[in-house]
A and B are shown apart, each in its own frame.
Chain A
Amino acid sequence: MATAASTEAMQLGQDGTLGQDDDGVQFLSFILADEYYGIDILRVQEIKGWTPVTRVPQTPEHMKGVLNLRGTVVPIIDMRMRFSLEEVEYTPLTVVIVMTVKSDSGERLVGIVVDAVSDVLNVGKDDIKPTPDFGDTVSTDFINGLASVDDKMVMLLDADKLFNVEELATEETLEQE
Chain B
Amino acid sequence: MSTILAVDDSASMRQMIAHTLKGAGHDVTEAGDGEEALGKAKSAQFDLVVTDINMPKMDGIALIKELRAMGNYKGTPILTLTTEASADKKAEGKAAGATGWIVKPFDPDTLLSTIGKVLK
A contacts B directly (C-beta below 8 A): no
